[in-house]
């Protein structure tokens, strides 16, 4: 018996050393045996991830969060935290109206700042920052909001109606370069909606290159395209304001500026990928938003254990989640005491090429059934190699 234990210990040690050495090698240097073992392990894991038993275990891990108590007092407490610490004060924010040519020139200037970077980096920016596929059409206005030396933009295309779609794109750049965006915009404008287009901080038409925002880093300037940099934000005059306020404040003030100038009867928020993450914060804060659609944009943190659900700094690592977790943000929408028409739709392509596909998507569907509230809805569909808004599926939801 002792000999067998010793034998297995030796085998385990040798195997571990073999795997570690091969793991450290370059792809071309890795041995066939190692690659075969790795391939087998990965395929087994991928198989197990999509079994009903595995999904049920994941569901059970989060079940207790679903049943947490939520009251009007908790809602008010969390809203106060967000307003006081995660939204910049009005005195720090300046909004103006600009032309499309002004915005294009700004983007060209900002791109020139990074021309000396590696070719692939500049090429990717050139493809995702400029208006390469389309531009705003006919009756439109462009608004610029400035704060802490940062600039964010919002483009409002008008139908002269009383309904508004707010479309927030994620990490992948300028919405006007996405075919699915153009399809969605055309459909809802034809159906009498004004259409407000927003991008993420530092991405798409919000790209700036290096920005001299107040910070505690050794770097004077930081790149807002790289969201890890935002954690260093610190304005000594407003020390209560947390780094995440740089993410939320621009689009928060742009949306409020638009809806305060227009008497809309219905306001719907669409958020794609991390653009949907914005909706989880902005919808509770802006009571006029009636319905929020998050397209492959979020799962609770305990489901962020897979390669496609890790999330950037703002999604997974900000200190805000120690005080307001995603379960609470969901409830601040579908249990919102200030607007009882509010609904939250979490929409997942179970075969999404980027983010929050299965098994996370199916687990969220089980969560919806457990919550059993018609203001919290999870919808699933399948579309290979796609990450965005599937208009045909969306129309079915609306119908």
Would residue 378 count as lying in a domain?
yes
d(CA 239, CA 200): 24
Domain identity same for 152 and 102 = yes
Domain identity same for 42 and 190 = no
d(CA 151, CA 242): 18
- Structure token digits, residue 374: 């018609």
d(CA 142, CA 215): 29
Would residue 110 count as lying in a domain?
yes
Strands 266-272 and 150-157, by their bridges, are unpaired
Domain identity same for 99 and 45 = no
Query: Residue 15 contacts by C-beta under 8 Å, 6 or more apart in sequence?
Result: none
Query: Residue 61 contacts by C-beta under 8 Å, 6 or more apart in sequence?
Result: 302
Measure CA 150 to chain center.
Answer: 19
Would residue 201 count as lying in a domain?
yes
Number of domains in the chain: 2
Domain identity same for 341 and 243 = yes
Would residue 12 count as lying in a domain?
yes
- Structure token digits, residue 329: 């943000």
What are residue 215's DSSP bridge partners? 233
Q: What angle do CA 50, 55, 60 make, to 5 degrees?
A: 170
Domain identity same for 44 and 94 = no
Q: How far is CA 300 from CA 173, 263, 310, 311, in A?
A: 24, 34, 11, 11
Would residue 101 count as lying in a domain?
yes
Would residue 241 count as lying in a domain?
yes
Q: What pLDDT does residue 116 have?
A: 74
Domain identity same for 40 and 131 = no
d(CA 304, CA 218): 31
First to last CA, the chain: 69
Q: What pLDDT does residue 60 have?
A: 74
**CATH number for 140:** 3.40.50.1820
Could you tell me if 253 and 150 are in contact, meaning their C-beta atoms sit under 8 angstroms apart? no
Would residue 39 count as lying in a domain?
yes
Could you tell me if 95 and 257 are in contact, meaning their C-beta atoms sit under 8 angstroms apart? yes
Q: Report the length, in residues, of the chain.
A: 399
Q: Cβ atoms within 10 A of the Cβ of 85, count?
A: 16
For 128, the domain range is 71-398
Instruction: Give the SS3 label for residue 340.
Output: coil
Domain identity same for 154 and 43 = no
Query: Residue 125 contacts by C-beta under 8 Å, 6 or more apart in sequence?
Result: 111, 114, 207, 225
Q: What pLDDT does residue 39 have?
A: 47
Q: Cβ atoms within 10 A of the Cβ of 153, count?
A: 22
Domain identity same for 40 and 86 = no
d(CA 304, CA 288): 30
Could you tell me if 258 and 153 are in contact, meaning their C-beta atoms sit under 8 angstroms apart? no
Domain identity same for 7 and 121 = no
Q: Cβ atoms within 10 A of the Cβ of 210, count?
A: 16
Q: What pLDDT does residue 310 have?
A: 73
Domain identity same for 99 and 241 = yes
Could you tell me if 185 and 135 are in contact, meaning their C-beta atoms sit under 8 angstroms apart? no
The contacts found for 65-74 with CB under 8 angstroms, 24 or more apart, are 65/300, 65/302, 65/325, 65/327, 66/327, 66/367, 66/370, 66/371, 68/327, 68/328, 70/328, 70/331, 70/335, 72/337, 74/328
Domain identity same for 96 and 152 = yes
Q: Is the dihedral of CA 26, 28, 31, 33 positive or negative?
A: positive
Helix orientation angle between 100-112 and 119-129, rounded to the nearest 10 degrees? 170
For 197, the enclosing helix (H) or strand (E) is strand 193-198
Instruction: Give the SS3 label for residue 288.
Output: coil
Q: What pLDDT does residue 220 have?
A: 84
Could you tell me if 327 and 68 are in contact, meaning their C-beta atoms sit under 8 angstroms apart? yes
Instruction: Give the SS3 label for residue 116.
Output: coil
Query: Residue 242 contacts by C-beta under 8 Å, 6 or more apart in sequence?
Result: 85, 86, 233, 318, 319, 320
pTM: 0.86
DSSP string, 225-255: TSGGGGGGB--GGGTT--TTHHHHHHHHHHH
Domain identity same for 145 and 37 = no
Low-confidence ranges of the chain (pLDDT < 50): 8, 11, 35, 39-47
Query: Residue 76 contacts by C-beta under 8 Å, 6 or more apart in sequence?
Result: none
Would residue 54 count as lying in a domain?
no
pLDDT tens figures, 172-189: 899 999 999 999 999 999
């Amino acid at each position: 018996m002792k000999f067998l234990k010793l034998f297995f210990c030796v085998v385990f040690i040798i195997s571990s050393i073999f795997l570690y050495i091969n793991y450290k090698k370059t792809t071309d240097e890795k041995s066939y045996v190692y690659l075969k073992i790795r391939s087998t392990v990965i395929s087994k894991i991928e198989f197990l991830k999509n079994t009903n038993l595995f999904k049920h275990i994941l569901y059970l891990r989060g079940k207790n969060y679903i049943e947490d108590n939520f009251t009007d007092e908790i809602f008010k407490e969390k809203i106060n935290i967000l307003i006081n610490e995660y939204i910049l004060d009005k005195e720090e924010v300046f909004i103006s109206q600009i032309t499309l040519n002004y915005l294009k020139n700004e983007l060209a200037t900002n791109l020139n700042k990074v021309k000396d970077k590696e070719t692939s980096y500049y090429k990717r920016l050139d493809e995702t920052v400029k208006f390469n596929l389309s531009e705003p059409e006919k009756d439109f206005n462009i608004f610029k909001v400035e704060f802490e030396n940062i600039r964010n933009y919002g483009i409002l295309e008008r139908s002269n109606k009383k309904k508004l779609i707010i479309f927030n794109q994620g990490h992948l750049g300028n919405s006007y370069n996405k075919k699915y965006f153009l399809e969605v915009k055309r459909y809802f404008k034809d159906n009498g909606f004004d259409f407000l287009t927003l991008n993420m901080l530092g991405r798409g038409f919000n790209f700036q290159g290096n920005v001299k925002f107040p910070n505690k880093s050794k770097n004077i300037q930081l790149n807002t395209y790289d969201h890890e940099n935002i954690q260093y934000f610190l304005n000594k005059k407003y020390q209560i304001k947390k780094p995440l306020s740089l993410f939320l404040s621009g689009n928060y003030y742009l949306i409020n500026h638009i809806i305060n100038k227009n008497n809309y009867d219905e306001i719907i928020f669409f958020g794609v990928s991390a653009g949907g993450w914005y909706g989880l914060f902005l919808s509770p804060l802006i009571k006029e938003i009636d319905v929020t659609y998050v397209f492959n944009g979020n799962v609770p943190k305990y489901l962020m254990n897979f390669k496609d659900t890790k999330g950037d700094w703002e999604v997974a690592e900000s200190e805000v989640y120690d005080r307001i977790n995603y379960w609470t943000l969901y409830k601040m929408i579908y249990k919102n005491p200030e607007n009882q028409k509010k609904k939250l739709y979490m929409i997942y392509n179970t075969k999404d090429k980027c983010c929050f596909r299965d098994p996370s998507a199916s687990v969220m569907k089980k969560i919806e059934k457990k919550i059993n509230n018609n203001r919290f809805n999870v919808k699933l569909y399948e579309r290979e190699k796609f990450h965005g808004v599937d208009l045909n599926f969306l129309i079915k939801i609306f119908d």
